[in-house]
Chain A
Amino acid sequence: MNREIAVVAFVQTRHAADSGGLSEVEMLAPVITEIKERTGVHRFGFTCSGSCDYLEGKPFAFVTALDAVGAWPPISESHVEMDAAWALYEAYVRLLHGDVDTALVYGFGKSSQADVRKVMTAQLDPYYLAPLGPDQVSLAALQARAYLERAGAKEDDLRAVAARSRAAGRDNPYALHLEDPDGSQGYDVAPLRPYDIAPDTDGAAAIVLAAGDKARELCERPAWITGIDHRADAHGLGVRDLSRSESARIAGERAGAAGVEVAELHAQFSHEELILREALGLGDDVLVNPSGGALSANPIMAAGLIRIGEAAARVQDGTAAKALGHASSGPCLQQNLVCVLEGEPRG
C-alpha cells in the first residue's frame, strides 16, 4: 500500500457572502467542469464529496450534487458529512488500494440559507450541550479565553491575526475582500470581536488526486502527499485542555509537519491560528495562510479542502518545497486533519 499520491489540480469558486441565487449544483458545476478541462480527465476512478445536508435541511442533499459530476453510467462514489478535506482523506486511502489511479474530491456549502450558528448547535451533544443552545461562537470564545489566559496573549494578538489574514485575503481573487479590522468594534461574544470570526461564505472547491505516473502525466509538478493524518480530541469540552490542540499536535507529528515552509490553517477564529501554530510547531519562519485563510473566506464544508488546495498550489508553483494544509471539524478544534505536500514524492 506504499503508493505515491499527489494533488494534480485544484479549482475553487470566487467565494461570496451569498452565491447570488445559485443552487448548490449551479455553484458547484463550473468548478467540476473546469477541473475536468484542466486535467483532461472526464471519468475518475473514485469520486468523494464533503458537505452537510443540514445546511439545506434536506436529507441526502449531497446526492443532488452528483448532477454536477455526471454519474451515469454509475460511478464509484462516496460522501462524508464533513468538510471535504476528510473526503480527500477517503480518496487518498482509496487510491492506496492500487486499482484506480485518479480521484475527484469536491466540497461545497452555502452559509446564506440558514442560521449557521443554529445549525452547528444541532450537531452538539444532545444530552448535555444542545439543550442549552450554545452557539459555535460562544464555544469558540471559551477556547479563546482559555488560550489567552494560559499563553498570556492579548486581544491585540488576535486582532493582528485578523489583520494579517484580511490583508492577504485582499490579494487573493477568490477570497472575500474584507477591510482592516476595526478595533473599536464591540464584542460578538467576548473575547471575540466580529473580525475574529470567519465570515459566513458560500462556495465550492474541487481537487483531483492521481497516483504515480498518472500524476506526472496530468501535472508538470505534482504536489505529492507525503503525510496525512487526522485525530479527534475527547468529545466533552470540559474534559480537555481547551487552550491546546492535542489532536492537531499528534496529526501534525504523524503527517510530518516539521520543516514546512508554508502552512494553510483552517482557523475559523483568530485564536485558533495561534493554538494551531503552537500545536504544529510552526515557527515565525513559516508563511501562514498566504491565501488569507478562513478568516478571509470560509465556504462551509469546502474551506478545509481549500487549505489543502492552496498548500498544493504553493508546491506546484515552486514557491515552497514543502507545505501543509490543515482542516478542522467540530466545536473548539475538536478534530484536526493535517496533509503535508512536497515537490518530490517520499523516497
Chain B
Amino acid sequence: MPSSPNHVLEFPGGYTRSVGPVIGRFLSELRDGRLVGVRTAGGRVLVPPTEYDPDTGAAVTDEWVEVGPAGTVQSWSWVPNPRPDHPLDRPFAWALIKPDGADTALLHALDMGEFEAGAEPPRFLKTGLRVRPKWRAERGGGIGDIECFRPEVTMINAPTRLEYTLDPGRALSRFLESISQGRILGHRCPVCDSVIVPMKGMCSRDGVPTTEEVEVADTGTVTTFAVNNIPDPRAPEVPFVSAYILLDGADLTMLALVAGIPADQVRIGMRVKAAWRPREEWGPTMNNIRWFEPLDEPDVPFERIKDYV
C-alpha cells in the first residue's frame, strides 16, 4: 500500500445508523454504566444482544438481564505491535469475554498493563482469566463506552518501609571500627578458648563476658555453601554462591558471598581470601569485603572442619 493515498473513500463526519430497540437498549444501558443482555425464548442470555436468537432465528423476548460486569476470557489473541486503528497504543489482547450471567461472549480489548512494543504475551494471560470493564468517565452510547477490560484484582503491592537508628553495641562498634581499617577482630572466650568473630562481648556458648581482642586473617575455608538463583542487590548476577567461611584463627563461621569461580565448582573445604573494595570506599560495614575468592591452595580435609559445619 502506498504511504500516502491518492484516493480516499470516506463519509465525512461518519456514517449515521439507526440502531433499533434491541441494540439501542444495550447501548443506552452501556452509557449508564451497565452491561445487560437479552433473554431468548429458550432462556439463553445474549451479550451483546441481537434482535434474534442465533440458534433459531426467532425474535428474542423483551426480558433484559443485567450481567457481569465481571466476566471470563473464552479466547484471546495478543497484539505485540498495535495498529493505528486499535483501541490501545501499547501491546494488548483481544478477548472474547463471557460476562457472568450471559451465555455468549463479547469481543473487546483487554489491557494487561505496561509492555514494550513487540512484547511476548504475558504468562498470566490465559483462557479463563477473570476480567472487568474499565468504564470511560464520559460515555456516549457506544461499545467504546467501555474503554477496555482489565484483569480482576488478584494481588496488591503494599508499601513496606520502617526507619531505625540502631545502636550496634560496644563490641560490634569496636568490630566495625576495625573493619573500617581493614582489620577483622574477634574476642577469645576465657572459658572455651574459642575465637568469636565478629565479637559480641559475650560467649553465647558459655554465657560469659569476653574482652580479649584477637585479630584474625582475611583468609579462610568454605564449610558449606548454597547456589542461589534469585538475584540479590549485592549479587545481581545469578547463579551466585553464598557460603559459610571459617576465617583462619576464628572458631565461628561467617556468611559471605563467594565469587571468582563458576558456581558449580565451589566445594566444601575450598580455601578463599577476602576481596576488599578499594580502600577509599571503606566504612564501618562488612560491605568493605565484596566477597571471597578462591586461593590457590589445597582444599582442607573435611575432618579438620567437620566441627564447624
A residues at B contact (CB < 8 Å): 54, 57-58, 112-115, 117-118, 121, 126-129, 131-135, 138-146, 149, 186-187, 189-192, 234-240, 242
Cross-chain contact A132 with B77 (CB below 8 angstroms): no
Q: Are A128 and B48 in contact (CB under 8 A)?
A: yes
Given contacts A146-B74, A149-B75, contact A186 B85 (CB under 8 A): no
Q: Are A132 and B75 in contact (CB under 8 A)?
A: no
User: Of all chain A residues, which has the CB nearest B144?
Assistant: A131
Q: Give the number of chain B interface residues (Cβ < 8 Å).
A: 45
A141, B107: Cβ atoms closer than 8 Å: no
Residues of A within 8 A of B107 (CB): 128-129, 132, 134, 139, 142, 237-238
| B contacts with A: majority SS | loop
A134, B95: Cα distance in complex, Å: 10
Q: Evaluate whether A132 and B108 lie within 8 angstroms (CB atoms) in the complex, with A127-B23, A190-B80 already known.
A: yes
Do B143 and A132 touch (CB < 8 A)?
A: yes
Alpha-carbon separation in the docked complex, A69 to B102 (Å) = 52
* Contact among B79, B104, B108 for A236, CB-based, below 8 A: B104
B94 touches which one: A57, A121, A134 (CB < 8 A)? A134
Instruction: Please report the C-alpha to C-alpha distance between residue A211 and residue B297 in the assembled complex, in whole angstroms.
Output: 97
Question: A143: nearest residue on chain B (CB-CB)?
Answer: B75
Chain A residues with Cβ below 8 Å from B143 are 127-129, 131-132
Task: Given A112-B1, A138-B94, check contact A189 B86 (CB 8 Å).
Answer: no
Q: Are A132 and B54 in contact (CB under 8 A)?
A: no
Given pairs A135-B86, A140-B77, A239-B54, 5 additional interface contacts (CB within 8 A): A132-B107, A146-B75, A191-B77, A235-B54, A238-B98
Q: How far is the CA of A133 from the CA of B7 in the complex (A)?
A: 21
Provide the bound-state CA to CA distance between A144 and B127, in Å.
13
Contact of B19 among A127, A149, A238 (CB under 8 A): A127
* Chain A residue with the shortest CB-CB distance to B87: A132
| B76, chain A: closest CB distance, angstroms | 6
Q: Kindly list the 9 A-B residue pairs having the minimum CB-CB distance in the complex, ordered from nearest.
A: A141-B77, A238-B105, A57-B9, A190-B78, A133-B85, A234-B54, A146-B75, A239-B104, A128-B48
A237 close to B96 (CB less than 8 A): yes
Is the pair B78, A187 in contact by a Cβ cutoff of 8 Å?
yes
Closest CB of chain B to A173's CB: distance in Å?
27
A57: chain B residues within 8 A (beta carbon): 7-9
User: Would A189 and B7 be within 8 Å (CB), given that A132-B143, A238-B96 are in contact?
Assistant: no
A131 contact from B74, B79, B127, B142, Cβ within 8 A? B142
